[in-house]
Amino acid sequence: MKLNYLLLDVFTKQRLQGNPLAVVLKADGLLDGEMQAIAREFNLSETVFLVKPHAERNTAAVRIFTPAVELQFAGHPTVGAAVVLGLQNKVSAVRIEEKVGLITALFEKADKSSGEARFALPQLPAEIAPLPDKVAIALALGIEVNDIGCGPYLPAVYSAGTGFHLVPVRDTAVLARLELNMGLWGRAFPHERQSVYVFTQAPNERGIDLAARMFSPGMGLGEDPGTGAAAAALIGLLAKHADISSGQVDFVLRQGKEMGRLCLIRMQMKLDNDVLVHGAIGGDAVVVGEGVLDLGD
């Protein structure tokens, strides 16, 4: 059994930057365990498997795996899959079935191997729980208690299909000097897969509104260069403290800088009478390689 695959860099226009992604094409014959084993083989933050959609009017169904678990939603795989499907089908919009729901992504081609995709969140972010124990958070992240907090934001757990502990910190200098203590991780971050998104405002960086880092031992990951699902969850916290009661706000978030894999994630939210009614994620992606998986007879 042989399967073609593509390698992409997502949330970037530059090859060998951004967040790497493997996209396995025409993967309908694979069992769940085989998909998980292939994701472990690639050992990237996520691997996407394209299969036939349940509804004919949709472009494809997508299965998303980290090296350890399957996810019902993730942002950088959705952007990467949308760019692949847009390039292959020569269309400006693709309909993707994910476990979280149907996603319609708009695609704009840049050249024969790259483009930009953006999509409305199939599930708006919601708060799961507060995170009141700042001492535990500080010890787990190797920072001081007074480093926690940024503007109006306080730590909380949010999900837009995948849950994240959102931890605001004072500035980008604090963000850059995190020293993780995994022995204390479970106490500080007890929810879901113990995934943590540490973020701050970046007023001194041109064209950048927010900066973030993501860590998820429960997903089989160390640090992830660019996490669209975490940015989607963050939209919920941003909306809670938005300066406007109605209207649209756009953000650019950078992630992965500390890893040497800069990602730029475009975020959008729309409020109506203080209620979040729309959230969206977008970014660029470029194909950097292709190959064939040989799985034997």
pLDDT tens for each residue of 170-205 = 999 999 999 999 999 999 999 988 999 999 999 999
Mean pLDDT score across all residues of the chain: 97
Give the closest residue to 140 by CA, choosing from 176, 191, 183, 193. Answer: 183
The pLDDT-based confidence of 141 (bands split at 50, 70, 90) is very high
- Per-residue pLDDT tens over the stretch 23-72: 999 999 999 999 999 999 999 999 999 999 999 999 999 999 999 999 99
Compute the distance between CA of residue 287 and CA of residue 109 in angstroms, rounded to an integer. Answer: 12
Q: Which of 46, 97, 98, 116 is catalytic?
A: 46
pLDDT at residue 258, as a whole number: 97
- Structural domains of the chain, with CATH: 2-119+284-294 (3.10.310.10), 126-282 (3.10.310.10)
Amino acid 163: pLDDT: 94
Q: Beta strands 101-111 and 93-98: pairing type?
A: antiparallel
Question: Model pTM greater than 0.75?
Answer: yes
Q: For residue 281, name the pLDDT band (cuts at 50, 70, 90).
A: very high
Q: At what angle do helices 228-240 and 75-89 cross, to 10 degrees?
A: 120
- Give burial (CB, 10 Å; 0-12/13-18/19+) of 282: buried
**What is the tens place of the pLDDT at every residue in 240-256?**
999 999 999 999 999 99
* Cα 249–chain centre separation: 19
Q: Is it the case that residue 297 has pLDDT exceeding 80?
A: no
Q: Assess whether pLDDT exceeds 80 at residue 221.
A: no
Q: What is the pLDDT of residue 222?
A: 87
More confident residue, 217 or 143: 143
Question: Is-catalytic flag, 223?
Answer: no
